[in-house]
Amino acid sequence: MSPEPIHDEVRDYYRTAALTRGEDPGEDPRWGSRWYDPDTLDEVDECAANLSMGCGNPFAMVDLRPGQVVLDLGSGGGLDVIVSARRVAPGGMAYGLDFLEEMLDVARANAEKAGVDNVEFLHGMIEDIPLPDGSVDVVISNCVINLAPDKAPVLAEVARVLRPGGRFAVSDVVADPGYLPPSGGESWAECGAGALEASIYRSMLESAGLVDVAMEKTHEVGPKLHAAVIRARKP
């Protein structure tokens, strides 16, 4: 499947979520805000929590410190950006990047309700991050990179915007050896068809110039598919 139909399918899926403000998050134990501790969820509006459709908790993977700059790839309803903004204050900044204006509108409203002002939500593609070279201390993401048709430019952009010593800490879906994605693109937005095998994901991170790559599978999200904690750093 070519990139544009995939992008369009993912846009349609998440546009629907944005327009319904996460009114019915469902009970699927594989995804969503259930992976966050109650204290973290108390920091955000219910809408931001309901719009969390990830497979993990970035704050269980990386410690954020005051003064740092954080970038969330695929920021959705803004949960991770809002929590990051509080962790890096005072003096820090949290950016959220999303390719849907509808989702950005929701995220900005959620950040305003939360009373955080050290945030900025950016419209753009994770394959072309609209930030300068070496401007970010930590890149986080929650089950988004697997949605990209081609992960190589995404990871190259991550390496570009990270400062030396900067960290990459994401939750994502990885495939077991022998995984065969479903035919067609109908399930790409549901985090299956675009998943990479763990060994390939590792190689792509290293090819992008990141080091100390570590992966830990956390739970099954489908046949031969697992959520995983993925960490690396820029030397």
Each residue's pLDDT tens digit, 175-224:
999 887 766 544 666 666 788 999 999 999 999 999 999 999 999 988 89
The CATH number covering residue 158 comes to 3.40.50.150
Each residue's pLDDT tens digit, 145-164:
998 999 999 999 999 999 99
162 torsion bin: left (phi>0), alpha (psi -120 to 50), beta (else): beta
CA dihedral 63→65→68→71, nearest 10 degrees, is 30
Indicate the number of domains in the chain: 1
Domain that holds residue 137: 3-233
Check residue 58 and give its pLDDT. Answer: 77
